[in-house]
Amino acid sequence: MILASASPRRKELLSLITPDFEVVVSGADETCGIREPREMVRFLAEKKACSVARDYPGETVIGADTVVEAGGEIFGKPADLDEARRMLAALSGKVHFVHTGVCVVRGGESLSRTFTTKVFFRPLKRGEIDAYLAEESVLDKAGAYAIQGPAAKFVTGIEGCFFNVVGLPVSGLYGMLGELGAV
């Protein structure tokens, strides 16, 4: 089995399903003309999985992509700390959605699906946002936060899969692997 991802979080989460996989980072570019977030992440997950699967025929290959959707805007990984600050200010005191697209390619078959988790943030003071950005490195995190780190204190609740927010919906992926006969 191959995980087509550079994300250390995804590696950790896939190891909850099996210890038996390798990481091959996909060279696929993350450009995408799709604006609907659930379709966008599914498309990008397919792009990542398929680009690795071409080089490893016969292997089971998993790709994923995560974005945050808040008030009609889509937040990927912030380009810099100013953008990160703007993203966190937009999430403050509101509900947002974290969408992770997952694609599994196995033999001639493939499955792709989007999983969504609703996340509630309490209102954040400007100083809290600055303090958080000083303690956590967020430029590699969609929406400029990591629920599994100190941003946990901003989260008043979630609806849906916690692991999906971290980058891989473990039980959803396990189901997809089962459907394709990979586990």
Ligand X SMILES: Cc1cn([C@H]2C[C@H](O)[C@@H](COP(=O)(O)OP(=O)(O)OP(=O)(O)O)O2)c(=O)[nH]c1=O
Binding residues (CB under 6 A) for ligand X: these are: 5-7, 9-10, 25, 48, 64-66, 68, 77, 98, 140-143, 145-148, 165-167
Nearer to ligand X, 32 or 181 (CB): 32
Nearer to ligand X, 121 or 182 (CB): 121
- To the query of whether residue 140 is one of the catalytic residues in this protein, the response is no
| C-beta separation of 61 from 14 below 8 A | no
Report how many helices (DSSP H) and strands (DSSP E) the chain contains, helices first. Answer: 6, 7
Nearer to ligand X, 34 or 108 (CB): 34
Closest CA to 45 of 151, 139, 148, 176: 176
Quote the least distance from Cβ 133 to ligand X, whole Å. 14
Quote the least distance from Cβ 38 to ligand X, whole Å. 14
Nearer to ligand X, 68 or 182 (CB): 68
72: which DSSP letter?
Answer: T
Quote the least distance from Cβ 6 to ligand X, whole Å. 4
Active-site position among 20, 29, 55, 65: 65
Cβ contacts of 176 within 8 Å, gap of 6 or more = 102, 104, 111, 113
Quote the least distance from Cβ 42 to ligand X, whole Å. 12
The Cα–Cα gap between 36 and 92 comes to: 23
Active site (catalytic) residues? 65
